[in-house]
Amino acid sequence: MDSFSGKIAVVTGGGTGMGRSLCQALAKAGCHVALCDVVEENMAETRALCEANDGVRISTHLCDVSIESDMIKFQTEVAETHGDSIDLLFNNAGIGGGGGFVAGEREEWEKTFAVCWYGVYYGCRVFLPMLMRSAEAHIVNTSSVNGFWASLGPNVPHTAYAAAKFAVKGFSEALITDLRLNAPHISVSVVMPGHIGTSIAINSGRILGHTAPLDMSEAEVKVVRERLMNQPGPISEAIMNVSDDQLRTLMHQRGIEFRDNAPMSADQAADVILNGVKAKQWRILVGDDAERLDERVRQNPWNVYDLDFSALTSINAS
C-alpha cells in the first residue's frame, strides 16, 4: 500500500497514545478514519486534531474492545458512516495490569487479557468482511516486546499482559498463511513496541476501576504499599520509609514519567508503524530498545528468565 490517501482506516484505542498518533498521521496522509475508545473526551480531542486536515472524514465510536457486542456495534456504525468496506484495520487498544496470576485478582487479570487479546481477535472477526471487500487491505495487530519476552524483570510478575501479547503475535503470524491462501489481497503486520511515550500506565487503572493515585484512600494506599513491599529489591525498602501522601505522589509520578521520559514518542512510533505497513513488513519492531531486546532474546533464549539476565530488564512495554 504505497499511499493512504483516500483509504478508510479503523483504529481501536484511538483516544490517546499510539492510537491517537496513528489517527493523526493517517488523516494527514488523506486517509478517512473511524476510531473507537472507552473515553469520549479523549476521542473528541483526537477527532479535532484529525479534522485539522481538509477532506478527510473522521468518526468516533464509544466501544470496549473486550466486549464482542460492543465491537459488533462499532462495526455496524463504521459501515453506516464509511460504507461497506475498509482498507486498514489497526487493532491497537491495550491496557496494562493483571500481573500476578498466583497472588493477583482474577477479575483484573481477565480484563487485561480480554482487552489486549480479545480486542484484537474481535477486531479481526467483525471487520474481516469489510476488509474482504477492499481491493487491497492490511491488518495491523499491536503486540509488544512482551510478546516475545514475557517479563518486566526478575522481580515483577507480568502474566496477563504478556500472555495476551504472545497470543497476538502467534495469531498474527498464523494469519500470514491463512490470508495468503484465502484472502491474498489482505496483508498482516504484528507490531512489537518497546517503551513508547503513551498514557497506558495512567489509563489502565481507570479502565480497571482503580482510584487515581492522588485520590487513593488509606485502605487503597495500604494495598499498594504491601504489593510494592513484596517485590524483592531496593524498592521495598524505599516504600517502607515514605508517608501515604508521598506514596500517592510517587505512584502518580510513575505514570507521568512513563509517558514523558520514554526513548520514543507516540508520534515517532506511528511513523515507524505506517512505514512498515507501506513496506508490507509482517514484523515491525518499534524502538531501538525493542530491536536490542529482540536480538538478545534470539541470541540466548535459554537464559532469558534467569535472575542475572540483564537484557534491558527495566524496559517498559507500550
pLDDT in tens, 35-50: 999 999 999 999 999 9
Confidence band (pLDDT; 50, 70, 90) for 133? very high
With beta carbons less than 8 A apart as the criterion, state whether 24 and 48 touch: no
Q: What is the pLDDT of residue 311?
A: 46
CATH 3.40.50.720 is right for the domain spanning 8-198+264-299 = yes
Q: What is the mean pLDDT of the chain?
A: 90
Q: What is the pLDDT of residue 203?
A: 78
Say how many C-beta atoms besides its own lie within 10 A of residue 260's C-beta: 9
Residue 107 exposure: Cα atoms within 13 Å on the Cβ side: 4
Q: Across residues 192-221, what is the average pLDDT?
A: 81
Catalytic pick from 118, 121, 122, 161? 161
Q: What is the pLDDT of residue 233?
A: 59
Q: Across residues 122-128, what is the average pLDDT?
A: 98
Q: Which three cell numbers stand for residue 60?
A: 468516533
Domain spans of the chain? 8-198+264-299, 211-256
Q: What is the pLDDT of residue 317?
A: 52
Q: Give the three-class secondary structure for 263.
A: coil
Confidence band (pLDDT; 50, 70, 90) for 245? confident
In whole angstroms, what is the distance from residue 142 CA to residue 189 CA? 8
Bridge-based pairing of strands 58-62 and 283-286 is unpaired
pTM of the model as a whole: 0.90
In whole angstroms, what is the distance from residue 158 CA to residue 154 CA? 10
142: nearest Cα among 127, 126, 161: 161
Looking at 103-107, 132-136, 184-188, which range is the least confident one? Answer: 103-107
Q: Across residues 72-82, what is the average pLDDT?
A: 98
Q: Which three cell numbers stand for residue 135?
A: 481491493
Q: What is the pLDDT of residue 231?
A: 62
Looking at 167-171, 221-225, 236-240, 306-310, which range is the least confident one? Answer: 236-240
Residue 31 one-letter amino acid? C
Does residue 118 have an active-site annotation? no
Order the strands of the 88-91 sheet from edge to edge.
58-62, 32-37, 8-12, 88-91, 137-142, 186-193, 283-286
In whole angstroms, what is the distance from residue 75 CA to residue 79 CA? 6
Backbone angles phi, psi at 88, to 5 degrees: -135, 135
Confidence band (pLDDT; 50, 70, 90) for 234? low
Q: What is the pLDDT of residue 136?
A: 97
